[in-house]
Chains A and B, each alone.
Chain A
Amino acid sequence: MRAPGFRREESAERLSISLFVAGVWLAFGAGLAGAEDPDPAPPSPPTPPARSVGQVTATATRAERDVLDVAGNVTVIDRETIEKSGARDVPELLRRESGLYVSNDIGSPEGYRVEARGFNNGGGNGSALLVLVDGRRLNEADSSFVDWSLVHLDRVERIEIVRGPGSALYGDNAMGGVVHIITRDGAGAPNATLAGRFGSYQEATGSLLAGASQGPFTGSFYVDGYTSDGFRKHSDYDSHMFSGKLRWTPNDASSFELSSGYSADHRKRPGTLTQDEIDDLGRHAREPFSNDYDSAHERWVQGLSQIVVAEDVKLELLPYWRSRSDSGAFKDEDPAAPFDFGFDTDTNSWGGSGQIEVDRPIAGFQNRAILGFEFLRDDVDRTSLATSAFCTPGCTGDTDVHRSIWSGFAQEEFSILESLLLSAGLRYDTAWYSGNSLSATPFGTTLENLKRTPTALSPRAGLTWRFLDATAAYFSYTRGFRFPNFDESIGFDGDLFDLSPQRSNSYEIGLKQRSETLSANLAFYWMDVKDEIFFDPLVLDPVFGFLSAQNTNLERVRHRGIELWTDWRPLPWLELYGSYTLNDTRIEKDPITQLEGERMPLEPLHHGTTGLYLFLPWRFEFGLNANLVGRRHVSNNFGDGIDSLPFYYTLGATLAWRMPVGEHLEIGLLFRALNLTDQKYSEVGGAPSFGSGPVGFNPAPGRNFEGGVTVSWQ
């Protein structure tokens, strides 16, 4: 019994051993047996498919205002539009907008001038368009102009454009409108975009934008370089820039941002050409004997703190510092009448703004209030030396001036009915100008002290009626102002001009539409400007009685106009856009030089754009753009005895191709042809400021081309 039993046990034991061996083989060997790769490393285990529990969604009410709710002519250029446009710089994009007039005297990024609602009246007066970059003012303290070469399109996330006075919220300089540029932050997984362009006139530009997020930190940096010989002789332009941004979001309720940058550029200026010189020397020539140049270095630091103290209450602080050094020379090397003027200007600006925003509905109706302050400080130090037949051995100027502006403001938006939004605002600004200007000439030395304390009260009121979900009508009243800038207050020769701030009362009605296929804005405005600052060629010197051409206040100037902008996508592969601006700016009252009824120079009565995008197979995109500009007086003239600058148009075409390569890489190619029909025109021209003489023209580039490549990695 035992033996069989033993045998049975032996058999069972053999079976159990066999099963054990089988188990071991199945457990450890099966996987390996199936692997044909002799590599002893085990393969990575397959990830089991995940089951979806279904979509969850968090929704909140947008704190940012809807374009349709704003009682004003507002448009936004987003990143998608920037990329498909193929545009080289911000002003080129702004040309497509209604209400803005863009001109460029020498064709370089620094030569642009952008104005809104009829303030492009030339001469020595400053800009009336406020430009902000991430909330920081870009207008220069001495001239109020904007150096557009400081804003690079590769760095831009979106551009918000508000036409008409915005002083009730933004204060000084927001007279014709506000352009707010928001830069990209590079958030998310590590990402980088490398871009390069090459074009006519030895143009070459390259940029790198890289960013990443890690935990609560998001950082990015941007670097670029640009060089071009320019369309005209002696219009070389070189620049480079570096900027960085770091954001820390420690929790759900606060965010702190620090950004900084450095920019340097050097440009030669070709001067103007008379028609005879254009005929003899060609459109690309430089002004004979002229050897003007300019260089600028700029550094800036800015911060942004946002703290949500309650779900619907936010505190915001935006401090900044900016330093700019300009040096340059206006040289006329004509042996018969040599003239040399050189200058160095150092400008330091710092300040900040703070505001508390409350976005809390009352009884279910929209209610948003803002209470804030702003402080600005500008210090300008300029030295100059001029030598000429009248200034031998030389005339010197030494200007050291300061300006502080304190402001307080309050804004309120309240929906009095579900589709009716009432908005109102008030801002008070007070400025202190101080400093002195010392000028020394062979005739003597003059010391002038600057001491002024202008103030401005800027109310606004608006009513928006959103009578359809995607359509709104509005009416608004706004008051704008601009304090005289330092260049207007103090001439290069050290003379002080007793100028008042210019102020406007503006009324506007408009219609806006936003839908998947059609976006449109239509606005009618009427703006009376009191004491508009104007470089008046007809002002007589009070002592000697000759024409002295200087900045003065025109008692009343009327700006009236119509602005139409549309973007229509009738088909998935077709997008059409266009804009039209009628801008009639006339002097209504001018007891000093009797210019009543005259239209302001350099501002065309009509201008517009039209264009299309075709979204073609295989990821090709084709764009066509036409820019049309009507007749306008040359600067320092009102059409008396001098022909206006004629109507011109330009046509541009863009072909772009974008192709993903793998999961993380995208390559883009771009080819552009500008001024396709090779139009011969001048965007800008001017009569001499002093005395008589032929008109000087600034010939614009002829037909030119550029190509580019972009590599994006994410």
Chain B
Amino acid sequence: MTARAYAAALLMLLAAGPASSDGPSSQHEARAPAVDLAPTGPSVESRLAEIRRRIQAALEYPPIARWQDLQGDALVRFEIGAEGRARDVRVVRSSGVPLLDAAAARAVVAAGELPRVYGPLEVPVSFELATR
């Protein structure tokens, strides 16, 4: 009885965090310290670098944008879900070109399984046309 009471109180204390954060991501945020502070495995920085590398690999310049001379910078925000894939992907700062915004968001989704990192992540995406 005492143990159950302590456990209930502890759960409620832990619930205090989720109650003040985004609903869908609350469980991940609650677990996050255990992930980020894992004593073994890659550091957060190296996991972020790996995420960047995979998004870069998935990023493509839309062919029609190249022909229409469209360039721009977009900022994409996302989180990493329990299965390791990006979720809640949205463009928080538009490039001004819907086609490029969509390509930026698509690259994050197409990056596949990503190293787990707690909390929201942002990736600035630039589309640049180079002269020969």
Contacts and interface: CB of A to CB of B under 8 A. Distances in A.
Interface of A: 9, 12-13, 16-17, 19-20, 22-24, 26-28, 30-31, 45-64, 66, 69, 187-189, 213, 215-216, 218, 249, 252-255, 306, 308, 311, 314, 357, 366, 415
Given A13-B1, A216-B98, A308 B20 contact: no
Contacts of B22: 45, 47
A16 B19 contact: no
Contact of B122 (A50, A63, A366): A50
Contacts of A306: 64, 67-68
B123 A56 contact: yes
A253 B10 contact: no
A52 B121 contact: yes
Nearest to A252: B62
Contact of A215 (B8, B98, B121, B123): B98
Contacts of A51: 48, 117, 119-122
B128 A58 contact: yes
B66 A61 contact: yes
A193 to B, nearest CB: 15
Contact of B68 (A26, A255, A415): A255
A62 B69 contact: yes
B37 interface: no
A93 B98 CA distance: 31
Contacts of A45: 20-22
- List 3 A-B pairs, minimum CB-CB distance, nearest first: A16-B5, A23-B12, A252-B62
Given A19-B6, A46-B20, A254-B64, A66 B131 contact: yes
Given A50-B77, A54-B52, A55-B124, 13 more contacts: A23-B9, A45-B21, A49-B119, A50-B119, A53-B52, A54-B48, A56-B52, A56-B123, A57-B56, A58-B128, A252-B60, A252-B99, A306-B68
B49 interface: yes
Interface string B102-129: 0100010000000001011111111111
The CB with the most chain B CB atoms within 10 A, among A9, A24, A53, A57, is that of A53
7 contacts: A19-B5, A19-B9, A51-B119, A59-B61, A188-B94, A218-B98, A255-B68
Contacts of A61: 66, 129-132
B109 to A, nearest CB: 14
A19 B107 CA distance: 48
Nearest to B58: A56
Given A51-B48, A53-B55, A56-B123, A62 B129 contact: yes
B5 A53 contact: no
B8 A62 contact: no
Nearest to A217: B98
A249 B12 contact: no
Given A16-B1, A187-B97, A57 B128 contact: yes
Contacts, number: 178
A253 B63 contact: yes
A188 B119 CA distance: 28
Contact of A60 (B5, B9, B61, B96): B61
B61 A26 contact: no
A48 B29 contact: yes
B129 A60 contact: yes
Contacts of B48: 51-54
Given A23-B9, A59-B128, A254-B64, A31 B20 contact: yes
Contacts of B120: 47-51
Contacts of B21: 45, 48
B17 to A, nearest CB: 9
B69 to A, nearest CB: 4
Nearest to B44: A51
Interface in B74-91: 77
Contacts of B34: none
B11 to A, nearest CB: 8
A46 B123 CA distance: 20
A69 B132 CA distance: 10
The CB with the most chain A CB atoms within 10 A, among B9, B62, B67, B126, is that of B67
A28 B126 contact: no
A183 to B, nearest CB: 14
